[in-house]
Amino acid sequence: MKKSVIYPGSFDPLTNGHINIIERAAKCFDEVIIGVAKNSSKDSILDPNERVIILKKIFKNNKKIIVDEFEGLLAQYVNKRKVYTILRGMRTVQDFEYELQMATSNNKLNSKLETIFMVADGNHSHISSSLIKDIIRLGGDASKFIPKIVERELKKKLLKKG
């Protein structure tokens, strides 16, 4: 039986920390499904389709990694995929509090669902979406934190004149 996991998130932007979690998960599971969430409550820089394209390009050579897009409740999406194990990355104690609340809520919505946590690698634990966006908006070099393709796309959006 294939061991699969869903790694959901907005990935706006995708960071080297996300990539580290995905690559480490691919060593533990037969299949890692990256679920790119369409989250209307977030003020996104890249639209979900752009994020899916970037992820597919980055992981094109790894057959264990599947990129998908979903809208609505994660507790419902897992039924569609028939995968009931969720992977979440954690960087800080604050992440733990939030993730614990989400895991408990998701399990109440779908009792088949189990959430596992992977602690961020120390080289990536300081990276956050807001940090990346600020670095780019202020003209800095974010290449140590995100893939070049992501930096290029963010610069197009964040540094538009007008």
Let me know if 42 is a catalytic residue. Answer: yes
Say if CB 76 and CB 105 are below 8 A apart: no
Let me know if 18 is a catalytic residue. Answer: yes
Q: Which of 3, 42, 108, 156 is catalytic?
A: 42
Q: Is 7 helix (H, G, I), strand (E, B) or coil?
A: strand
Strand 31-38, strand 4-9: pairing: parallel
Q: Which of 24, 38, 64, 91 is catalytic?
A: 91
Q: Which of 44, 51, 88, 129 is catalytic?
A: 129
Integer Cα distance of 13 and 133 in angstroms = 8
Give the closest residue to 70 by CA, choosing from 11, 127, 15, 16. Answer: 11
Say if CB 42 and CB 14 are below 8 A apart: no
Q: Which of 18, 44, 51, 88 is catalytic?
A: 18
Catalytic residues: 18, 42, 91, 129
